[in-house]
Amino acid sequence: MSTASAFAGSVPETYERNLGPLLFEPYAVDLAARVDAGARSILELASGTGRVTNHLLRHLHRDALLYATDLNPDMLHIAREMVRDRRIVWQTVDAQVLPFADGKFDTVICQFGVMFFPDKAAAFREAHRVLRPGGRFLFNSWDGFDSNPRAALIVSVMKDLLGDRAPDFLARGPYSFHDETKIRHLLDDAGFGPVTLTYVPKESHYDDPSSVVDGFVDGSPLGYYLDGIDTGFRGTVKAALHKALEAQYGTLSNAVPMQAIVVEARRQESKSGSILVHHPV
């Protein structure tokens, strides 16, 4: 399957309704809280449906200015409806070619978006360019499938049903960017100074397994891929996923254990950098 990250049509709404509270809300709270309270000029990349945007506004000064950007206008449409504040400037933006002046921002933040950037090196150079000296670049990225068993289950079911035709969206998209060395090299090459990686485990719970199934299938490009195989195959996959979740109930109940990596880097004049890694206790 193509790794294209286009979330269009009904996908953004389903994504927000099902996966928003289940996967993204806990990390939105965490990431927004890491922004300096004194930040006055903030750029959010890949803001999606506005989860981080909403929490940032609770931390920022009343005179702060937040540019909330995304490449996908359908995602921004939902965000605009959900989050309303005079401090926000909404803008459709490609993170790899930022339309902002050098040194404009004191913070650049991105929740679960860097994995989808085709040219991460270019995106990181751009983040460095638009930050003022001492400015912070904050982003998070999903850890691997070993630390995200519900996502691993989706991949396993797809593989059982489709074999070599199984979609690669999860492996090559959301869960593709967790190699510490690669992250360090990209940030070092972009000119960032000290880099801190923190492993952050979280756990959420679902009331209805359909929120997991519909979220992953209908709230992502996976559904479109399955429709291309057969118009009824989306339902076949959903039924198999429900059975698989049921089989896991004895060990995980209705929990969704997950883990992400939070990366913090600063713009410095020197290109020499270092990396710190914090593993969960």
**Could you tell me the two tokens for 269?**
């004049």
Q: Is residue 271 scored above 60 in pLDDT?
A: no
pLDDT at residue 5, as a whole number: 45
Task: Quote the pTM value.
Answer: 0.91
The DSSP H or E segment spanning 193 is strand 192-205
pLDDT category, 3, cuts 50, 70, 90?
very low
pLDDT at residue 7, as a whole number: 72
Q: Is residue 281 scored above 90 in pLDDT?
A: no
Give the model confidence (pLDDT) of 84-106 as tens digits: 999 999 999 999 999 999 999 99
Cβ-based neighbour number of residue 208 at 10 Å: 10
pLDDT at residue 277, as a whole number: 56
**Could you tell me the two tokens for 257?**
């254990």
pLDDT category, 1, cuts 50, 70, 90?
very low
Rg (Cα) of the chain, in Å, rounded? 19
- Domains for the chain: give ranges and CATH numbers: 11-278 (3.40.50.150)
Please compute the mean of the pLDDT values over residues 234-246 and round it to a whole number. 96
Residue 43, helix vs strand vs coil: strand
Please compute the mean of the pLDDT values over residues 114-119 and round it to a whole number. 97
Higher pLDDT, residue 9 or 90? 90
Q: Is residue 276 scored above 70 in pLDDT?
A: no
Burial class (CB in 10 A: 0-12, 13-18, 19+), 185: middle
Give the model confidence (pLDDT) of 159-187 as tens digits: 999 999 999 999 999 999 999 999 999 99
Please compute the mean of the pLDDT values over residues 270-275 and round it to a whole number. 48
